[in-house]
Chain A
Amino acid sequence: NAGVTQTPKFQVLKTGQSMTLQCAQDMNHEYMSWYRQDPGMGLRLIHYSVGAGITDQGEVPNGYNVSRSTTEDFPLRLLSAAPSQTSVYFCASSYSTKRYPFEQYFGPGTRLTVT
């Protein structure tokens, strides 16, 4: 299994540009989430999905859109990039079993710089 993959690894955008960060998982996990991590800070939840066709907002959803058309993919769209969105973005997927409740697996991250 490849686990959780994210593309691109690095991206530089100009203010006002839009782009999509890709996230895919091959573990058939129900739950997928997007987080941003600013320097010296913890991960903050942007959006999450509990299954195909179902998404919900997290702590910091403004400026971002998501969709979940398949179990495997959960893209994050930046509508109009702003310097405040400069951060490292992590995608995570999760399953829930009796023994390991809500174990999350994280991708390698996408470093985004908005100038």
Chain B
Amino acid sequence: KNQVEQSPQSLIILEGKNCTLQCNYTVSPFSNLRWYKQDTGRGPVSLTIMTFSENTKSNGRYTATLDADTKQSSLHITASQLSDSASYICVVTPNTNAGKSTFGDGTTLTVKP
């Protein structure tokens, strides 16, 4: 069964600090990996998308990395802001069926002043 596991489950950091969220997956063969930000009470919003051939992708203060050999990805947030408080979700799409992406349970990030 395809799985996506995220760690930590939750994280609290001070405003201005950096943090890194982890995503391990077993989806194979692999098409792409996406990171989403989900604010409380809202739908997920895409941050980055990486195909199997990409190692890193940035979107402002968000930088995602991908190691397709070890099936690991990370999302690094630089100089955190209060508005970064949200759930961050890792999603992996298989090559065989684009309609059946697998979602991780997410990491809940709280940024405190």
Contacts and interface: CB of A to CB of B under 8 A. Distances in A.
Contacts of B76: none
Nearest to A111: B41
Contacts of A106: 43-45
A43 B100 contact: no
Interface in B41-83: 41-46, 49, 51
A35 B44 CA distance: 11
Contacts, number: 63
A45 B106 contact: no
Interface residues of B, number: 23
B98 A42 contact: no
A10 B10 CA distance: 27
Given A102-B31, A102-B32, A42 B105 contact: yes
A42 B46 contact: no
A31 to B, nearest CB: 6
B46 A103 contact: yes
Interface residues of A, number: 29
B24 to A, nearest CB: 14
A90 B44 CA distance: 9
Contact of A103 (B4, B49, B103, B104): B49
Nearest to A40: B105
Nearest to B4: A42
Given A41-B105, A43-B103, A44-B103, A104 B89 contact: no
B101 interface: yes
Most chain A CB inside 10 Å of its own CB: which residue of B93, B99, B101, B103 = B99
Interface in B6-53: 31-32, 34, 41-46, 49, 51
12 contacts: A42-B105, A43-B89, A45-B101, A48-B99, A50-B99, A90-B43, A101-B93, A102-B98, A104-B34, A104-B46, A105-B46, A108-B43
Interface of B: 4, 31-32, 34, 41-46, 49, 51, 89, 91, 93, 98-101, 103-106
